[in-house]
Structure 1
Amino acid sequence: MQEELIKEIVKKVMDTIGKSNTIPIEVSARHVHLSKEHIEKLFGRDYNMSKKKDLSQPGQFQYEERVMLIGPKGILRGVAILGPAREKTQVEISKTDAVVLGINPPVRESGNLEGSEKIYIATEKAVVEAMESVIIAKRHIHMTPEDAKKFGVEDKQLVSVKVKSDRPVVFEDVLVRVNKEYKLSMHIDFDEANASGYKEGVVGEIIFF
């Protein structure tokens, strides 16, 4: 009887080890997703953007070109542009960036721009006013359907993640985003990275209260 109990306990421990809830964490710096219309206005008609590098998420990349963000109180220079072009321009910044610019963008999931902040985006050639475009990106996890099954979560679910650094914190309300094209990764901004003692290689663990 005791031997069977020991076997059952060992099995449960091994199952737990085999289902690691750790995920890689990446820091998402301030950046802009431009619409085709705004690319033409900022860089010129028929301008071909120059690809700099691929990003961790399949199909996403960074351009060589940069822009300025102009707010009521300040300017952020050298802001990265990510591709491919989107139907509507989206600007993702941190709360600290927002204070510098003098605006108050909402914390939102990517693509949810209704009622968000406006900003002026500039290059040496032109300036555009991007209405309802600025958000503070809600911290989130990209994962495939297979990952979701492994972790026991669903698309749009909110989970808590413990950052396993030398300054560990638990981030609540982390949005799970599931798509077969995604690569497993949690994205946080620089404010969150600094608060959690982030450095390259740090991972998070999904926890349930």
Structure 2
Amino acid sequence: MTQSLDNAQIEALVRRAVRAIVNNDLSSAAQPPGWVDGKPNLRVSISARHVHLSDEHVETLFGPGATLTPMKGLYQDGFFAAEQTVMIVGPKKRMLPSVRVLGPTRPFSQVELAFTDSISLGLDIPIRHSGDIDGTPGCVMVGPAGTIQLDKGVIRAARHVHMNQSDAQFYGVKKGDFMDLKITSPQCTITMSDVLVRADETSKLEVHIDTDEGNACNLDSATKIELIPSGGGCGCKAH
């Protein structure tokens, strides 16, 4: 037996549904970026080999007027993996054939590799924080429309954590501080020190480590992840 609804009942149901949607949106908006259930939601991501390019180098490598084409958005809002890739050539003509370009573009180009990548290329690369490229080795980048000889800019990116100011307050840290990252995995539990805090107003809580570090701690099988202020602090942890 089917029961019909009058206009008043239909209007009440619609109002209830709209109110639920609005209340949910307001609840989400009240939380800092990336927070879940009133606390930071820690994510650890493996940052595989990649390239950041300047606008000038995008055109040189991919043709006049070329721009980066987003393929997939990254966890941090506004950042993406581009459809474009480049070949990286080392000093002994060894090469990595398809290294992903990340966007958006930057004022200068930078190549970020893991230690094993640098061995394959025959490069001796230092561990540096992004943007600190003085005194670093260069390489050749090859695209479908041209070639770039980088005099510097190839680094192994130092591990770091992106966070917003609410995350920083939660952990009792500030921009430029260092933290420890403890990853508990079967037979591979490890604590990584010197995780640089990169805090701003909009970032979501995310630690970046490279492929070598991710393999060393068996990140895919991790059962617990803790971010701990170095040398004291509040000792708060998010899992």
TM-score, normalization by structure 1: 0.86
CA-based RMSD: 2.0
TM-score, normalization by structure 2: 0.75
Q: Encode CA deviations 1:40-60: one digit per residue, 9 max, x unaligned.
A: 111111123321011011110
Is 1:197 matched up with 2:202? Answer: no
Distance in 2 (alpha carbons) for counterparts of 1:81 and 1:202: 31
Shift of 1:195: 0.4
CA contact (8 A) 1:23 1:203 kept: no
Is 1:128 matched up with 2:144? Answer: no
Distance in 2 (alpha carbons) for counterparts of 1:19 and 1:51: 32
Match of 1:8 in 2: none
Match of 2:129 in 1: 109
Q: Which has the higher contact order (CA 8 A, sep 6+)?
A: 1
Structure 2 unpaired stretches of 5+ = 1-36, 232-239
| Letter matched to residue 116 of structure 1 | T
Distance in 2 (alpha carbons) for counterparts of 1:203 and 1:68: 37
Distance in 1 (alpha carbons) for counterparts of 2:103 and 2:222: 25
Is 1:41 matched up with 2:35? Answer: no
Paired residues for 1:1-209 under 5 Å = 23-73=42-92, 74-166=94-186, 167-199=188-220, 204-207=225-228, 208-209=230-231
CA contact (8 A) 1:21 1:151 kept: no
Distance in 2 (alpha carbons) for counterparts of 1:141 and 1:203: 17
Structure 1 unpaired stretches of 5+ = 1-17
Shift of 1:168: 1.1
Shift of 1:203: 5.3
Between Structure 1 and Structure 2, the one with more strand by share is 1
Q: Encode CA deviations 1:51-107: one digit per residue, 9 max, x unaligned.
A: 101101111011111110000231001100001111100110001000011111111
Shift of 1:164: 2.4
CA contact (8 A) 2:185 2:221 kept: no
Q: Encode CA deviations 1:145-185: one digit per residue, 9 max, x unaligned.
A: 00000011111111111012222100011111101121111
CA contact (8 A) 1:19 1:151 kept: no
| Letter matched to residue 205 of structure 2 | L
CA change 1:22–1:203 in 2 (3 A) is farther
Q: Encode CA deviations 1:101-123: one digit per residue, 9 max, x unaligned.
A: 11111111111111111010002
Shift of 1:201: 7.0
CA contact (8 A) 1:159 1:175 kept: yes
Distance in 2 (alpha carbons) for counterparts of 1:124 and 1:43: 6
